[in-house]
Amino acid sequence: MSCRLQLPPATLQKIGEESRDVCVTRHSSLPAKLVPPHEGIHMYKCNMTTLRKYKKLPMHIVEDHNDVLYHILRAVGSKHLPFTHNLIIHFDSHPDLLLPPELKASEVFDVPLMLDKLSIENWLLVAAYAGQISTIVWVKPPWSNQIEDGSYKFLIGRRKGTDDIRVSSSLLYFVGEMLYCKASELDDAKEISLTVITMDNKSPDTLVEGIMHLINEHNNLFVLDVDLDFFTTMNPFICMHGQVNMYSRLRTAYGFEYKECKDEESLNILLQNRCTQITTLKSIFTRIQELRDPEIILKEVDGICENIIVKEERESVIDMVKDLASVYGNKVDWGLVHDAGCTWDDEKHQLPHHVSSSDEIDGLVKSFSQLISALPPPTLVTIARSSLDDYCPPDQVDGVQESVCGFLRKTYDVDCKRHYEEEKD
């Protein structure tokens, strides 16, 4: 589960960083309901002949990445983007391709409810299930490795007999998050095209042809989406409870050694093992959180952890819990300890951490600029700062933003909306 998670403000304060709660609730200007995809196909065909054009290129800058979906849906609602089957080019250190655990398939088309249940790591596939996005190009920096470069096609739909959204991709990223489901067991399924590309400081010429092909397929209409942590990023869990080296110790219990499965039975066994692993660990840390008192935790942790079958894993959790309780006392948020553990997959696929030098940032901005300059103008630009949760280093975010926005202002006639400033007020 090498995915980023949104840290609550109180947690950031606990680990010594300033933050605050950010909540964007401007749903009144959105439709209360989205049309289900099977009803939207006809609208898509009609919509292509009646699309409007912006006088200036809209550039929406938000803090939390999931808040960009609001602006994408507004562009769809105002007929500046097709109702379905849109292309998004997503520059980010993270895929953001998870699904909100509390969001049911039946709730996706209730727009205010759906937007309120999103988080930074799980908004793209919700838009895909709703039908607004069908093609995703994830352009990642060299230090991101959650998904290997390549082209992937898979289905997203509602698992039969449930109200849960699942995908048919057997990539580790999805299996580790227990989101995999056999294609034949999905109802209301839609195909997703995912292209993963690594961009470095070298010339991006080799990337242009493949991306241009996708843009042409979408009639030169696309959303350019940029998370500023693409250029420099942190894993905020690394320094959490650093006196006891908590984050690295979590790997023993939470690590997931994924093996390529050639048959469905083996894949289901792997998936069930992962479910058992995470469910067991979640129940342990839920129980510890309920106890709260460090002295009681120290006395009872051995018994609480008895359901961990593998001795090495059990002992590692017990020792870590005792160290945390002894050093940090009742300041530990045990639920967040579990969340931190859930960001571990295997040694190769990890939550990225790479604080870039000024030269590295400049090189990536140059490559980004060269690539975007070789493409047609986007229909819409969305930018996420991701600094309040420390994924983009707070001391670098303003400089990165100015470099990226400076290029966009020179290249296009933009209408820049700094929504994050409104959120501060």
Q: Topology of 9-16+39-46+54-235+353-424 in CATH?
A: Arginase; Chain A (3.40.800)
Q: How far is CA 353 from the centre of its chain?
A: 15
Comparing C-alpha atoms, which of 190, 1, 41 is closest to residue 105? 190
Give pTM, 2 decimals: 0.88
Q: pLDDT per residue over 325-370, tens digit each?
A: 999 999 999 999 999 999 988 777 889 999 999 999 999 999 999 9
Q: pLDDT per residue over 216-275, tens digit each?
A: 999 999 999 999 999 999 999 999 999 999 999 999 999 988 777 778 888 889 899 999
Q: pLDDT per residue over 269-309, tens digit each?
A: 989 999 999 999 999 999 999 999 999 999 999 999 999 99
Residue 149, classified by CB atoms within 10 Å of its CB into exposed (0-12), middle (13-18) or buried (19+), is: exposed
**Cα–Cα distance between 296 and 358 in angstroms, integer?**
48
Q: pLDDT per residue over 200-217, tens digit each?
A: 877 788 899 999 999 999
Q: Would you place residue 47 in the very low, low, confident or very high pLDDT band (cuts 50, 70, 90)?
A: low
> Domain-by-domain residue ranges, the chain?
9-16+39-46+54-235+353-424, 242-341
pLDDT confidence of residue 29:
52
**Structure token pair of residue 115:** 């937007």
Q: Would you place residue 5 in the very low, low, confident or very high pLDDT band (cuts 50, 70, 90)?
A: low
- 136 in helix, strand or coil? strand
* Residues whose CB falls within 8 Å of the CB of residue 397, separated by 6 or more in sequence, listed in order: 228, 385, 386, 387
**Structure token pair of residue 79:** 């007929």
pLDDT confidence of residue 35:
59
Phi/psi at 125 (nearest 5 deg)?
Answer: -70, -25
pLDDT confidence of residue 17:
37
Phi/psi at 152 (nearest 5 deg)?
Answer: -130, 135
Q: pLDDT per residue over 123-174, tens digit each?
A: 999 999 999 999 999 999 999 999 999 999 999 999 999 999 999 999 999 9
Residues in the chain: 425
Residue 8, classified by CB atoms within 10 Å of its CB into exposed (0-12), middle (13-18) or buried (19+), is: middle
Q: pLDDT per residue over 54-90, tens digit each?
A: 999 999 999 999 999 999 999 999 999 999 999 999 9
pLDDT confidence of residue 6:
61
* Residues whose CB falls within 8 Å of the CB of residue 80, separated by 6 or more in sequence, listed in order: 51, 52, 53, 54, 379, 380
pLDDT confidence of residue 2:
56
Query: Does residue 14 register a pLDDT over 70?
Result: no
Query: Does residue 27 register a pLDDT over 50?
Result: no
